[in-house]
Amino acid sequence: MATTAQENLPPPLDSKAELPPLFDGTPRLYISYSCPFAQRAWITRNYKGLQDKIKLVPLNLQDRPAWYKEKVYPANKVPALEHNGKVIGESLDLIKYVDSNFEGPSLLPDDPEKRKFADELFSHIDTFTNDVYTSFKGDPAKQAGPAFDYLEKALDKFDDGPFFLGQFSQVDIAYIPFVERFQIFLSEEFKYDITAGRPKLAAWIEELNKLDAYKSTKADPKQLVEFYRSRFVVQFVEPVPSSEPAISRLRSALNQLVAWVSLESRNAHDHDHDNHGGFNDRVLFDSVYENLPPGLQDEIKLVAFDLQDKPAWYKEKVYPSNKVPSLEHNGKIIGESLDLINYVDSNFEGPSLLPDDPEKRKFAEELFSYSDTFIKDVSTSFKGDTAKEAGPAFDFLEKALDKFDDGPFFLGQFSLVDIAYIPFVDGYQMILSEGFKYDATIGRPKLAAWIEELNKMDVYKQTKYFKDPKQLFEYYRIRFLVPSVEPVLI
Ligand SMILES: N[C@@H](CCC(=O)N[C@@H](CS)C(=O)NCC(=O)O)C(=O)O
């Protein structure tokens, strides 16, 4: 039977870990602490009291040891069990295998009617998980109901106990890792209680939570919610504060590309889920698993924050400098808006945003390096004699816009340079006219034409947060002009 003593869980092995002795007579169960499939095999092992017989080998799937695929399990997935010189995979097969090939209480009743029903429930599992996943993308409160109704009805079939087949069995083990996750996420994200109006389901979950064999395998709910959110939920945190010019730069660049292609970053990794010192020191939600529909990371997804109330995980897990914008792509996080627009331009499809002409490229460099000076000069001018002090910065742009005559933009055609400047110039123009009665375009026809051209482009227009100069001025007034508040430049 399940031992009651709390098992000491080993830390997950990463790519630096050595291969454990293979086929030395010790059965080893390879798992990931966050994987619902692995959890099935793990619960089975625990329930049968095999903690001392089957050794747990947790893997960090994000940074898997190469030997796992090469030497242990070519499918490179978890769970897998090494036993009697063989390696067996597939969680449903494994529940059955462990149940039949090891000692401990049987997890399948003999009753043929119950066995038949077990098969029915096993074959329904994929439908169940798919239906619930699909509902996450719509209105789960409406769409997920039938999936849980099915379970409620199934739990009503045998009345000799609270479990699917009456007594605790393989079927409960197959379902609970998913029901556990769905219950948490639906309640947390959609305020939907799967047990409301489903007393059998409520009792089933309650009974399962009395079993140590299961309880000790449960995932960290907080990390689970984050993981599901990152895959299913459009993460616009209201209010959508694309007020930051630096974000606008990025959004313009993205929109420009989106206008032509659908962006793909298929290898975008899930957040680094190493949980240092946290939940039992486990690595959680470290991999994408089967049946999980393609996530939102199949495109460059915008995730907007309320900068006044940023989620803690952004700094901890995503971007330690805690600023926006940042882009998660191919297992890396890239920050700094100018680096980012260059990165997006070079690493994704779509029209190039830098001309090949070396002279233009050189000029682009010059303008990129002037950008911080421009921002500093204009924003400093807000505190002094604005009309006088801001003038030279705009004169610089007017002159720059005169350099190439094959179009109204800095390099003639629309480029990364325009994207780098427009959020600031447009914003400053509004602030100056609203707060200082200063029109930067007067006497600067090139600048006027440039702003006008950009404001014809949807890719830019959609990224503008402040359309009302009064509102923007108020934002800047508070940020820059209220005494004792240090000007923060992005
Ligand atoms: N059908 C398999 C699914 C196992 C599975 O998808 N495991 C995930 C972790 S939850 C995995 O190993 N993913 C790694 C990969 O696919 O590379 C089973 O039931 O065991």
- Given pLDDT bands bounded at 50, 70 and 90, which one contains residue 298? very low
pLDDT at 363: 97
Residue 401 has pLDDT above 80, yes or no: yes
3-state secondary structure of 327: strand
Query: Quick check: CB of 62 below 6 Å from ligand 1?
Result: no
pLDDT at 249: 60
DSSP label at 318?
A: I
Q: Who wins on pLDDT, 45 or 468?
A: 45
User: Dihedral angle at the C-alpha atoms of 274, 277, 281, 284, nearest 10 degrees?
Assistant: -30
Q: What is the mean pLDDT of the chain?
A: 83
Within a 10 A sphere around the Cβ of 393, how many other Cβ atoms? 22
pLDDT at 248: 58
H helical segments located in 48-169: 66-67, 91-101, 112-136, 140-143, 145-154
Calculate the alpha carbon distances from 291 to 122, 142, 254, 397 in Å: 15, 21, 30, 53
C-beta separation of 57 from 31 below 8 A: yes
- What is the rounded distance in angstroms from the CA atom of residue 172 to the CA atom of residue 164? 6
CA–centroid distance, residue 293 to ligand 1 (Å): 13
- In 3D, which of 89, 92, 82, 10 has the Cα closest to residue 43? 92
pLDDT at 233: 60
Mean pLDDT along residues 31-42: 96
- What is the rounded distance in angstroms from the CA atom of residue 296 to the CA atom of residue 302? 10
**Which of 290, 291, 292 should be mutated for ligand 1, with most atoms under 8 A from CB?**
290
- Given pLDDT bands bounded at 50, 70 and 90, which one contains residue 251? low
Calculate the alpha carbon distances from 345 to 21, 295, 349 in Å: 48, 23, 8
CA–centroid distance, residue 297 to ligand 1 (Å): 19
Q: Which tens digit of pLDDT belongs to each residue from 432-450?
A: 888 888 999 999 999 999 9
- Given pLDDT bands bounded at 50, 70 and 90, which one contains residue 271? very low
- What is the rounded distance in angstroms from the CA atom of residue 114 to the CA atom of residue 339? 62
Residue 286 has pLDDT above 90, yes or no: no
Query: Quick check: CB of 78 below 6 Å from ligand 1?
Result: yes
pLDDT at 299: 53
- Given pLDDT bands bounded at 50, 70 and 90, which one contains residue 162? very high
pTM: predicted TM-score of the whole model, two decimal places: 0.58
pLDDT at 283: 37
Mean pLDDT along residues 402-431: 93
Q: What is the position in ligand 1's atom list of the atom closest to the CA of 288?
A: 13
Query: Of all protein residues, whose CA lies closest to atom 15 belonging to ligand 1?
Result: 77
Residue 143 has pLDDT above 60, yes or no: yes
Domains present along the chain, CATH in parentheses = 1-106 (3.40.30.10), 112-219 (1.20.1050.10), 235-347 (3.40.30.10), 358-481 (1.20.1050.10)
Query: Quick check: CB of 201 below 6 Å from ligand 1?
Result: no
pLDDT at 228: 83
- Given pLDDT bands bounded at 50, 70 and 90, which one contains residue 253? low
- Given pLDDT bands bounded at 50, 70 and 90, which one contains residue 112? very high
Residue 99 has pLDDT above 90, yes or no: yes
Omega cis (within 30) before 36: no
Residue 297 has pLDDT above 90, yes or no: no
- What is the rounded distance in angstroms from the CA atom of residue 405 to the CA atom of residue 420? 20
Contacts of 418 (CB under 8 A, 6+ apart): 409, 410, 450, 454
Task: Find where tokens 């970053």 sit.
Answer: 265
pLDDT at 252: 55
Task: Find where tokens 């399990």 sit.
Answer: 73
- In 3D, which of 368, 272, 360 has the Cα closest to residue 62? 272
CA–centroid distance, residue 201 to ligand 1 (Å): 26
- Given pLDDT bands bounded at 50, 70 and 90, which one contains residue 207? very high
